[in-house]
Structure 1
Amino acid sequence: MIIGLGSDLCNIERIQNSLDRYGERFIARVFTETERAKAERRPFTRAGTYAKRFAAKEAFSKAVGTGFKSGVFMKDIGVVNAPSGAPTLALTGGAAARLAAITPAGHDTVIHLTLTDDHPWAQAFVVIEARPR
């Protein structure tokens, strides 16, 4: 069963402006080490790579119904890739706690994530599925 659905559309130029204005301070506050490493390996699409991950964080916060409050912080939500290459989310802290709180007893969750970008836009969709054990 689906227990959460979220989407976000992010302007890549807005992320580029934040990178230009705040640099390392912005990156360190928002992105995980894994996300940073991926973006820094992509010098020609760096802002787009960060924008897609920013959108994924926003989409997850909507899917769990809190936004960025109730202990859910951006850095607790990290985009990682499965061995197949498909993107998914790794959660820590308040984000993991919130997901656990909305998961029905006797179920495990699966997070489905899709990312796309077409300059100047980056988009993410998150579907949270609860599967019986």
Structure 2
Amino acid sequence: MIIGLGSDLCNIDRITAALERHGSRFEQRCFTAIERAKAERRPFTRAGTYAKRFAAKEAFSKAVGTGFKRGVFMKDIGVVNAPSGAPTLALEGGAKARLEELTPAGHEIFIHLTLTDDHPWAQAFVILEARPL
């Protein structure tokens, strides 16, 4: 059963401006070490790489119904790749705790994430699926 759905559209130029204005402070506050390393490997699409991940964090915060409140912080939501290469989320801290609160007893959660970009837009959709154990 679906227990959460979230989407977000992020302007890549807005992320470019944040990177130019705040540099590493913005990167450290919003992104995990894995996300920063991936962006650094993509110098020509760095802002787009960050924008997709920013959108994924926003989409997750909507899917759990809190936004960035109740202990859900951007840095606790990390975009990683499954062994298949598909994007998914690695959660820590308040983001992980909030997802655990939503998980019905006797179920496990599967996070479905899709990312796309077409300059100047980056978009993410998150579906939280609870499956019986």
User: Can you give the 5+ residue segments of structure 2 that lack an aligned partner in the other structure?
Assistant: none
Within 5 A, what are the aligned runs for 1:27-42?
A: 27-42=27-42
What is the CA–CA distance in structure 2 between the aligned matches of 1:41 and 1:3, rounded to whole Å?
A: 35
State yes or no: 1:3 paired with 2:7: no
Within 5 A, what are the aligned runs for 1:17-96?
A: 17-96=17-96
What is the CA–CA distance in structure 2 between the aligned matches of 1:35 and 1:3, rounded to whole Å?
A: 26
What is the CA–CA distance in structure 1 between the aligned matches of 2:84 and 2:132, rounded to whole Å?
A: 24
What is the CA–CA distance in structure 2 between the aligned matches of 1:20 and 1:81, rounded to whole Å?
A: 27
What is the CA–CA distance in structure 2 between the aligned matches of 1:82 and 1:118, rounded to whole Å?
A: 23
What is the CA–CA distance in structure 1 between the aligned matches of 2:37 and 2:130, rounded to whole Å?
A: 31
User: Can you give the 5+ residue segments of structure 1 that lack an aligned partner in the other structure?
Assistant: none
TM-score, structure 1 length as denominator?
1.00
Q: Say how many residue pairs are matched.
A: 133
* SS of 1:65 mapped into structure 2: coil
What is the CA–CA distance in structure 2 between the aligned matches of 1:126 and 1:49, rounded to whole Å?
A: 17
TM-score, structure 2 length as denominator?
1.00
State yes or no: 1:109 paired with 2:132: no
Shift of 1:8: 0.1
Q: Deviations over 1:3-49 (max 9, x none)?
A: 00000000000000000000000000000000000000000000000
Shift of 1:94: 0.1
Task: Name the residue aligned to 2:118.
Answer: 118
* SS of 1:72 mapped into structure 2: coil
Q: RMSD of the alignment, in Å?
A: 0.2
What is the CA–CA distance in structure 2 between the aligned matches of 1:126 and 1:35, rounded to whole Å?
A: 18
- Opposite residue 125 of structure 2, the aligned amino acid is F
